[in-house]
Amino acid sequence: DYVKKIKGTLEYPAWLRDFDLVGVRDYGQQYEWAPCASCMHPALRKQYTIKNDVIWFEHKKQLLKSTEFGTDPIPRFINSGDNIDQTIEILGSANTIITNSYHGAYWGILLKKRVIVVEAWSSKFNAMRHQPYFLGKGEHWKDYIERVPTYNTAIDECISATETYWNKVKGYIK
């Protein structure tokens, strides 16, 4: 609620200017990019056996309507937030992740997976450094699968940016 989308840019509250150091997960904005520190989790560096070509990974409060995106029998998982290791293993076990979860998209990208976001319900998807493919209402994922990028260096970039920001934070702690 504190970030509004205005003509493709994000507007942050004025009180942020009162701080000496501000990091945001939104890339290319007026404040320093500090990706979600979950990129440091060791489970994101593991290799996983592929069990499904495609999975649906849903936000627990924003469930997807499968009828809007085809009738293919695709395994569906919900991000309950109970076990990060198990969640990352689920994401790692697929080649392609169809999701409406920010962390499903973020972790999938860090795992070098093809990530398709459907029904992006929040501005937090708008300024991701490594953009997933956004599927429009009525579009079928199979028609766009070849356009979905993967990012081989995303995890290294996110870890480096997180470490750089953390070192700046430590510089302010005396």
The chain-wide mean pLDDT, for the chain, equals 88
Six-digit token string for 123: 């501005």
**Residue 53 pLDDT greater than 70, yes or no:** yes
- Residue 122 CA to residue 20 CA, distance in Å, equals 27
Report the share of the chain in percent with pLDDT over 90. Answer: 60
pLDDT in tens, 83-135: 999 999 999 999 999 998 999 999 999 999 999 998 777 778 888 999 999 98
Q: What is the mean pLDDT of residues 133-151?
A: 88
pLDDT 10s digits, 69-82: 566 778 788 787 77
**Calpha distance 129→102 (Å, rounded):** 13
Between 66 and 49, residue with greater pLDDT: 49
Range 1-8, long-range pairs (CB < 8 A, 24+ positions) = 3/123, 3/124, 4/123, 5/123, 5/126, 8/126
**pLDDT of 120:** 77
Confidence of residue 11 (pLDDT cuts 50, 70, 90): confident
Quote the pLDDT of residue 1. Answer: 42
pLDDT on residue 112: 98
Q: How confident is the model at residue 2 (pLDDT cuts 50, 70, 90)?
A: very low
